Structure 1
Amino acid sequence: MAQQQSIRRRGFTAGALAAAVGLLATALATTPSVAAAGPAVPFGSHQFPYAAGTLKPSGAQAAVDQQVVTTYKAWKSAFVKQNCGNGWYQVLSPDADHPYVAEAQGYGMVVTALMAGADPDAKKIFDGLVKYTLAHPSVNNSALLAAEQDSSCRSVDGSDSATDGDLDVAYGLLLADKQWGSSGTYDYKELAVKHIAGIKKSEVNATTHLMLLGDWSGSGESHHWITRSSDWLIDHFRAFRTATGDSAWDTIRTAHQNLITSQQSKYAASTGLLADFVVNTNGTPKPAPGKVLESSHDGDFGWNACRDPWRIATDAVTSGDAASLASARKLNGWIKAKTGGDPNKIGTGYHLNGSAFESGKDMAFTAPFAVAALTDPGSQAWLDALWGKLAATPVDPKLYYGASVQLQSMIVASGNYWVP
């Protein structure tokens, strides 16, 4: 870490009723900015089927959904706060470098938009998060979010941006536009497009089309040719392309998919693991040769890359993309064999050859592999073991990062994620 009515009219035939419902659905789909009384995609409605062949946890869907809601309520209680007034909501990150980080606010926006329908306060919380993000712009590009705030919600450490936070903020705004329309307090669509433009301008390397670490690592800065694998959010790039009509996002998406494939092939052929940071992107990209930003393990599968199985597999199951599917299956096949099918044996850090360098346990590493397991028709028992582990693991109010990754992985694994 940068440390989601019935109609009864006398005289309606079934066919006429179906036609009327069809017309209504078409109207709603083509006018996403009209405010609705409730969320258009309430949690648990499963309106967006995953790619054919995608697994799901065994058991009744309603029971699986309820396990997500239970985890969400615990996560919300622990981390969703109004500590600084001004009508703001913030997601607290007690285990990060600062009490409030951009990554956490991005998570909060995506989660609350996806949980709408299960949480009647979702829109209120979302709007409070929007108000908070708008009040904390980056000093380098005011369309982006300052990366870190102190306990008084004052931006600190230069007030520049962190790419992962901005990607999720923009994505959350697109979800909100589909959920609630954009004619209320905030024009979510307009804000999203502005944020996406800011990302393209200040957080995408214009030469390589790869994500920069933040708007502080522009041309001439020593980290300009470094990219972080946990920022390679393929499904987000697809959503940005749809929202803006800008074909540059196709180029950006393809560049990242090609990098994932080549890094797996060249440096982790037996595991599929990716490094936290990849350097030399202007030449032959390779895992960091030691500390380039955070630790001596920047070239290993560590506390950033641990999210990659979740992120890559999310694109695989929502888009059916062959490259994402192949990359996710590599990761799934390796971890299933490594642990012998026992989720309790997933550790908290691996070299790219699959050997462990830490012996800890954390949901940030365990939960993403549940999403990867969705992609392999032969992994039902493995998925069920992982799901059981996630559902049975209580949210630790001291560990925002692991809990947030756990919750979001459960949202995807339960079939409740969708791409706007």
Structure 2
Amino acid sequence: MKLNKYTWIFVGLIAAVYLGILIWVRLTNPVYLQKNMYQTWENSYVMHPKSDQSFVNTSKNNDHQNPVALSESQGYGMLITVRAAQKGWANQKDFDRFVNYWLAHRDYVGDQRQTETYLMSWRQYYNRHHQWVNDINSATDGDVYIAMALALAAKQWPKDATYYRSLAKNLSDDILSYEYNPQTGALTVGDWVTRDSKYWQLMRTSDVMPDIFMTLAKLTGDSRWRTVNNTMLDRLVDLSRLHHTGLVPDFAWITRDAAKPVKPNAISTKYDGDYSANACRVPMMLATSNNPKARKVLKKMLRFFSHQQYITAGYSLSGKRLVKYQSASFSAPIFFAVSHHRGEGYDNLFDSQKYIFSKPLTHKNYYDATLTVMAALEGLN
């Protein structure tokens, strides 16, 4: 019996050492980690309905029998693929499959929905007759991500730069035609929000993307992108000032010169006015901007997070935890942000949020996995 006992202790020690070595390799070899995570994500979530098309599956538990495509995930997929191509792990055909799927699932506007746009329909899925259906309406965040990915593709594959820039300009024009409120100077949340909609003055905080806005301003020469950038950052500053935490809500009502959080269930969930599943992306959206307003909002948020014992999946704007558990979709954007602001007083977050890389990428949660891969590709350098 003693032999068995010591044998099991020895085996346990060997297993612990082996596991420790694996974790050490993952955390100390960023190139290995980046490539492994990208390939795992691509193999797990990217689906090919046709040989020349790709989309990212967002269905619950990553159900490949009942997949769901979103314009948001299409944009993420295109951004991740072009970033992977920059590192030699993806190619132009991989990217073009995403482009082709987007072009095949564009949204229509007009009273009879007779006018085709370059905006992507926000969702596709199988209905009860097992027909692949294309939901009407767009979602602004997905369209903006796609436009940015096209701008990056033009640099990555210069022989086809004219093609990608043309697509980006067409998409940019339609974003400003159908997803822009000239009265507030900000983007709306989708082309379904018209002047007579009660959501005409609604802003999603994760749609504030200063680097992307300025990229599109330069690409298109359209000054409205600078207006969008300045206005939406101003509204984000307004929201940041409301609480000592600097946290901003998922959604806010805005005017030309003010902003206030929405009430619970104003849009979709009881957390609409909290730092929740949309606002968690804000640190990632602001991280690479040199705009003083973006940096001010980001640093105030990071200061709050740096004083937390651990980061949970959601907070009230006053800083109260909404849940007790952690989530990669909240930690990844924080890690991404801190990785671009090392040595500025928040390095404890770089260490604490690195836990998202210490375990295999989830195969069951598109949002967690996708934001983790984005943080790995651009934050682990």
TM over 0.5: yes
Give 2:278's aligned amino acid: N
Which of 124, 127, 137 is matched with 1:149 structurally?
124
Judging changes above 3 Å, is the alpha-carbon distance between structure 1 residues 98 and 204 closer, same or farther for their aligned structure 2 residues? farther
Which of 351, 362, 370 is matched with 1:404 structurally?
370
State the Cα distance separating 1:412 from its structure 2 match: 2.6
Give 2:364's aligned amino acid: K
Matched, 1:305 2:279: yes
Judging changes above 3 Å, is the alpha-carbon distance between structure 1 residues 245 and 153 closer, same or farther for their aligned structure 2 residues? farther
3-state SS in 2 of match to 1:67: helix
Which of 116, 122, 134 is matched with 2:91 structurally?
122
Question: Equivalent residues in 2 for 1:255-266 (5 A)?
Answer: 255-265=231-241
Give 1:132's aligned amino acid: Y
Structure 2: how far apart are the matches of 1:65 and 1:329?
28
Which of 264, 271, 274 is matched with 2:245 structurally?
271
Q: Which runs of 4+ in 1 moved over 6 A?
A: 59-62
State the Cα distance separating 1:408 from its structure 2 match: 1.1
Structure 1: how far apart are the matches of 2:202 and 2:286?
20
Which of 121, 145, 148 is matched with 1:171 structurally?
148
Structure 2: how far apart are the matches of 1:411 and 1:310?
13
Structure 1: how far apart are the matches of 2:26 and 2:101?
38
2:14 maps to which residue? none
Matched, 1:245 2:221: yes
Matched, 1:80 2:46: yes
Equivalenced residue count is 343
1:231 maps to which residue? 207
Give 2:125's aligned amino acid: D
1:218 maps to which residue? 194
Give 1:306's aligned amino acid: C
Q: Greater relative contact order: 1 or 2 (C-alpha under 8 angstroms, separation 6 or more)?
A: 1
Which of 332, 341, 365 is matched with 1:367 structurally?
332
3-state SS in 2 of match to 1:105: helix
3-state SS in 2 of match to 1:144: strand
Which of 81, 91, 95 is matched with 2:56 structurally?
91
Matched, 1:160 2:129: no
Query: What are the superposed Cα offsets for residues 133-167 of structure 1, whole Å, 9 maximum, x if unpaired?
Result: 0000112251110000014783443x210001000
2:349 maps to which residue? 382
Structure 2: how far apart are the matches of 1:63 and 1:348?
28
Structure 1: how far apart are the matches of 2:337 and 2:55?
30
Structure 1: how far apart are the matches of 2:207 and 2:166?
23
Contact 2:185 2:256 in 1 (8 A): no
3-state SS in 2 of match to 1:139: strand
Query: What are the superposed Cα offsets for residues 65-93 of structure 1, whole Å, 9 maximum, x if unpaired?
Result: 332222111111111111x2252111111
Which of 308, 312, 318 is matched with 1:347 structurally?
312
Judging changes above 3 Å, is the alpha-carbon distance between structure 1 residues 338 and 120 closer, same or farther for their aligned structure 2 residues? closer
Tell me whether 92-101 or 329-338 shows the greater mean CA deviation: 92-101
Give 1:154's aligned amino acid: W
Structure 2: how far apart are the matches of 1:79 and 1:153?
20
State the Cα distance separating 1:209 from its structure 2 match: 1.4
Query: What are the superposed Cα offsets for residues 177-200 of structure 1, whole Å, 9 maximum, x if unpaired?
Result: 00002538x811100110011111
Contact 1:278 1:288 in 2 (8 A): yes
State the Cα distance separating 1:113 from its structure 2 match: 0.6
State the Cα distance separating 1:295 from its structure 2 match: 0.8
Matched, 1:196 2:172: yes
Structure that is richer in helix per residue: 2
3-state SS in 1 of match to 2:252: strand
3-state SS in 2 of match to 1:279: strand
State the Cα distance separating 1:280 from its structure 2 match: 4.1
Give 1:281's aligned amino acid: T
Structure that is richer in strand per residue: 2
3-state SS in 2 of match to 1:326: helix
Give 1:328's aligned amino acid: L
Structure 2: how far apart are the matches of 1:395 and 1:90?
19
3-state SS in 1 of match to 2:72: helix
Unmatched segments (≥5 aa) in structure 1: 1-58, 340-344, 416-420
Query: What are the superposed Cα offsets for residues 361-408 of structure 1, whole Å, 9 maximum, x if unpaired?
Result: 211111111123232522334313323x13213211110001111111
Structure 1: how far apart are the matches of 2:134 and 2:349?
43
3-state SS in 2 of match to 1:191: helix
Structure 1: how far apart are the matches of 2:131 and 2:173?
26
Matched, 1:131 2:97: no
Structure 2: how far apart are the matches of 1:63 and 1:366?
20
Query: What are the superposed Cα offsets for residues 243-269 of structure 1, whole Å, 9 maximum, x if unpaired?
Result: 01122211110111111111101x22x
Give 2:322's aligned amino acid: F
Structure 1: how far apart are the matches of 2:181 and 2:334?
29
3-state SS in 2 of match to 1:201: helix
Matched, 1:112 2:49: no
2:113 maps to which residue? none
Judging changes above 3 Å, is the alpha-carbon distance between structure 1 residues 131 and 377 closer, same or farther for their aligned structure 2 residues? same
Structure 2: how far apart are the matches of 1:283 and 1:247?
19
Judging changes above 3 Å, is the alpha-carbon distance between structure 1 residues 397 and 277 closer, same or farther for their aligned structure 2 residues? same
Structure 2: how far apart are the matches of 1:60 and 1:367?
16
Give 2:283's aligned amino acid: P
Structure 2: how far apart are the matches of 1:277 and 1:356?
18
Query: What are the superposed Cα offsets for residues 323-360 of structure 1, whole Å, 9 maximum, x if unpaired?
Result: 22221111111011022xxxxx2111110000011223
Structure 2: how far apart are the matches of 1:370 and 1:272?
17
Contact 2:235 2:258 in 1 (8 A): no
3-state SS in 1 of match to 2:85: coil
Structure 2: how far apart are the matches of 1:232 and 1:321?
12
Contact 1:234 1:312 in 2 (8 A): yes
Judging changes above 3 Å, is the alpha-carbon distance between structure 1 residues 198 and 182 closer, same or farther for their aligned structure 2 residues? farther
Give 1:384's aligned amino acid: D
State the Cα distance separating 1:321 from its structure 2 match: 2.3
